[in-house]
Each structure stands twice: as C-alpha cells, then as structure tokens.
Structure 1
Amino acid sequence: MIKLFRNIRKTLINEGKTYNYIKYAIGEIILVMIGILLALQINNWNENRKDTLKEVANLKSLKSELEISLEELKSDYKATELYHNSALKVQNYIRNIPQISDSMHLDFYLSFQISNFYPKTSTYETFKNGNLELIKSDSLKILITDIYEAGYKRILSRYNTTRISSRMNYYQEHFRITSNAKPNEGLLQLRRSFKAIPNNYEFLMNDPKFESIISETIYVGSLLLRDFENTIEVVKKGISEIEDYLKTK
C-alpha cells in the first residue's frame, strides 16, 4: 500500500501535475489521520473493555462478599436480640426482686453476652486501593462505600472494649458459671446451655452498679439492634443493585 502511494506521488511529480499532487498529498494526510484516529479508537475500546471485564469480576466478588456478611449480620442480629431481651428481663428482676428461679440464671448469663460482628472486607479493600473508580455507576459506588464505611463501622463502634472489660470483671466477681453444653451445638444453642448463678442474689438485686451496668447494656443493645436492622437493609439493597447493574454489562 505504501509502495502504491509512493508510485502515484512519483508519477504526479514527473508529469508536472502540481495541483493534482497537492490534492493527492492532502488526501494522503487525511487518510493517515483517519488511520491514527481509528487506531486510537480501537486502543481505547480495548482498554475500556479490559476495565469493564475487571469491573464485572470485582463486582461479582464483592457481591459474594456482601452475601456472606449479610448472613453474619442476620445471625448477629438474632443473637443481639436474644441478649437484649435477657437484659430487659434482668432489669425487671432488679425492679421487682422475684424469688430466684433456674430460668433467671440463663437470663443473667445472656444479659452479659455480646455478638462480635466480623464483616468480610477484603474485596472492598482491593476496590478502595485503586479499583473503586472502575465502577462507572456513581450511585452504586456511593452505596457500596456507605455499607463498608458507615454501616459496618457504626456497628463495630458500639463495641467499647473498656466498658466490656469492666462489665466482664463485675460479672466474674459476682457470678459462677455452670453449663450442660453438648458437642456440635450451634453458637446460640451453646450459649443457652450456660447459667450464671449469683454469688449473692440479694446483694446483686440491690447493687446500684449492677443496675447501671444492665441499663447501659439495654441502651447499647437497642442501638445495636437498630444499626443491624439498617445495615441489613442497606446490604440487601447493595446486593440487589449490583445484580441489576451486572445485567447491563
């Protein structure tokens, strides 16, 4: 092709057809520019295609990660609800001081328990460290960031290690633990098999510190339940929107 253009150019010059040569030269320049633009367009298309494939792969991985965390959230919500209800019962015991019974020992034990939420974040961390911009949907990007940076962190911030340590110290000082746990039981079932028996029930029911601990436990538990509910809904929405977005790819 280049040889053909060269021969045409040589013929025009030899024949003295300057005007035709100029037109030819302009045409040749235009053809070269079109070739360059096409090459750039193809290159851009290839790069965009690579980015899209990477975006799809990462979003599929992120969806799987969110699905795992969603099950964890649901499980921890149920556990937190169980512990919260027991704390409410213990508060009622403090106010009414009923005759102690075996069923109360389970509530004493559960009222001091916490549900440790461990969200999976490895895929999101990969996104955040360079690949988040691959997501072309701004609304989806904002939603994903909100799940990890607000939803998860809001729940984790409720677990104040200093206060938990103080509660456990009190718990260990004033209760003794018994259990009829069986092998291979689920976590919630396992915890239901424990009992916390007060060393001095009358003292416990009249101790302002114990009442304060239970009141704070109820307050934090109510906040945690609200946080779990909100985050579960946001994660469900995130999974659904990722699925819808991937259908367009």
Structure 2
Amino acid sequence: MIKLFRNIRQKLLSEGKLQKYLKYAAGEIILVVVGILVALQINNWSESIKNRELESVYLREMLEDFKSNLQKSEDTIEWINEVIPEMITLLEQSSLDKPDIPVDSLNYNFSSLLTMPTYNSTDRVYQNLVGSGDFKIITSRDLKNDIANYYKAVDLIELVQRTHEMELVNSIQPYIIDNMDFQSVGVYLLDDWDMPPADDYERILKVMKSREFRNIIMLKLSILSDLLEQNENIKEINKKLVASVEKHFE
C-alpha cells in the first residue's frame, strides 16, 4: 500500500502535475491521520472494555468481602449485646447483701470480663486492587468514596480495639487474677479442657462488695459501649457498600 502511494506521487511529479501532487499528498496525509485516529479509537474502546470487565471481576470479589464483613459486625454486635446484661447483673448483685443467683452463674459472668470482641475486616481484594494500581478503573466516584470511608472506619475501629485490649491486659486481667478465684472463672474460658471446680464463695462475696470491683465492671461496660458504637457504625457503612455494589450489577 505504501509502495502504491509512492508510485502515484512519483508519476504525478514526473508528469509535472504539481497541483495534483500537492492535493494528493494532502489527501494522503489526511488519510494517514484518520487511520491513526481510528486505530487509537479502537484501541481505547478495546481498553475500555477490558477495564470494565476487570472492574466487574474486582467488584464481584469485593462484594463477597463486604458481605462477610457485614456478617462479622452483626456477630460482634450480637455478642456485645449478650455480655452487657451480664455486666449489669454483676453490678446489681454486688449491691445485695448476698447474691441471689448461683455461684456458677456469677463465675460465668466473671469470665466475660476477660473476653474482648474483635472485628477483623477481610480486605484481600481491596489490597490487591490498590497495590496493582487498578483502583482507578472503578468508574463510580460515589462507590470509590464509600470504599474509602469504609477503610477509614476500619482504621478507627482497629485503633479503638487496640486501646481496649491494653485496658483488658493492664487493668481487668490483673484484677481478676489478684482478687478472684481465677480457676473457677477459667472453667468457662477453656471449654476443651476438663478442669476441677474451685468455688471460693466467701472470696467472691468479699470482692463483689468492693469499690474496685464495681469500677472494673464499669470499665468493662464503657469498653463494650464504645465497641458497640464502632461496630454499629461500620455495619451501616458495610450495608451501604453492599447495596452500592449490587446496584452496579443491576
């Protein structure tokens, strides 16, 4: 094709048809430019299709992560809402002259002092998306903002959890070990092991009457309240994310 164009130009020059040559040359340039533009357009179109397909793959995988994270937050909220009444029961029992519930029930509630719910976000797909530089292929700006807001909330809840884990390790656990019958409490934490009962009832009564005991319970309640708020917040963000991604595929 290039050889044909060259032969035509040479023939026009040899015949002295300069004006026709210039018109032909200009037309040839225009044809080449149009060809380049068409090729670029086809390439951009092909790249756009490739990006949309890749976007769909990422979003489908992220949707599974968001659904999993939503279930995690719901499970954590359910756990917290079960433990809060246990702590309130301990406060109520501490105000009585003598607890009116069985000692094993008290020990079961004491064991909840030593546990801490942890929200661990599944973010493998998101990390791959960001690490590969493909985050830019997400076309919806609103969805990008929702994803960014979610991971900001994850950073916050992880910070809150680390703070409260330190309170558990530095304040609550030492108090239980130093002041209570840890063996009796441990029975409810080590389900896989057979442990003999050790119900030091008199010691339990004495400890429950102390101001330190009530302070520990209030500390635990404040921790649970904080974690409940954080998990409810991240649950709502997760629900919005799931809805946004599902809408993308409608």
* Partner AA of 1:171 in structure 2: I
* Runs of 4+ with deviation above 3 angstroms: 95-98, 178-183, 194-199
Equivalenced residue count is 236
Counterpart in the other structure of 2:209: 206
d(CA) in 2 for partners of 1:69, 1:206: 41
2:110 aligned with 1:108, yes or no?
A: yes
Q: Deviations over 1:183-213 (max 9, x none)?
A: 8xxxxxxxxxx99876612322222222111
Distance in 1 of aligned mates of 2:45 and 2:176: 64
Asked if the contact 1:76/1:115 (under 8 Å) is kept, the reply is yes
Q: Secondary structure at the match of 2:214?
A: helix
The structure where strand makes up a greater share of residues is 1
Give the unaligned 5+ runs of structure 1.
Answer: 184-193
**Counterpart-to-counterpart distance in 2, 1:198 and 1:27:** 103
Aligned to 1:92: 92
In the alignment, does 2:174 pair up with 1:172? Answer: no
Which of 138, 141, 159 is the matching residue for 1:157?
Answer: 159
TM-score normalised to the size of structure 2?
0.83
Q: Which residue of 1 aligns with 2:127?
A: 125
Rounded Cα–Cα distance in structure 1 between residues aligned with 2:14 and 2:246: 67
Q: In 2 relative to 1, CA 180–123 (structure 1 residues): closer, same or farther, beyond 3 Å?
A: closer
Q: Is the 8 A contact 2:207 2:213 kept in 1?
A: yes
Determine the C-alpha separation between the residues in 2 that align with 1:95 and 1:157. Answer: 35
**How far did 1:101 drift?**
2.0
In structure 1, what residue type is equivalent to 2:38?
L
Task: State the distance in 2 between where 1:239 and 1:83 align.
Answer: 28
Task: Using the aligned pairs only, state the percent identity.
Answer: 28
Q: CA deviation at 1:167?
A: 0.8
> For residue 27 of structure 1, what is the aligned residue in structure 2?
27
Q: 2:137 aligns with which of 134, 138, 142?
A: 134
Partner amino acid, structure 2, of 1:34: V
1:242 counterpart residue number: 245
Cross-structure match for 1:225: 228
Consecutive unaligned residues of structure 2, counting only runs of 5 or more, are none
Instruction: Give a deviation string over 1:53-98, Cα, whole Å, max 9, x none.
Output: 2222111111111111211111111111111221122122223454
For residues 97 and 137 of structure 2, the distance between their equivalents in structure 1, rounded to whole angstroms, comes to: 61
Greater CA deviation, 200-209 or 134-143? 200-209
In the alignment, the residues of structure 2 paired with residue 140 and residue 195 of structure 1 have an alpha-carbon distance, to the nearest angstrom, of 56
User: Alpha carbons of 1:180 and 1:215: their partners in 2 closer, same or farther (altered >3 Å)?
Assistant: closer
SS in 1 for 2:116: coil
Superposition pairs for residues 35-54 of structure 1, below 5 Å?
Answer: 35-54=35-54
Compute the RMSD of aligned alpha carbons: 2.5
Structure 1 stretch 17-26 or stretch 114-123: which is displaced more? 114-123
Q: Deviations over 1:203-248 (max 9, x none)?
A: 222222221111111112112112212211210110110111234x
One-letter code aligned to 1:29: I
2: CA distance between counterparts of 1:164 and 1:181?
18
Q: 2:74, 2:119 → 1: CA distance?
A: 10
Residues of 2 paired with 1:131 and 1:195: CA distance?
59
Change (3 A) 1:228 1:65: same
CA distance in 1, matches of 2:5, 2:199: 95
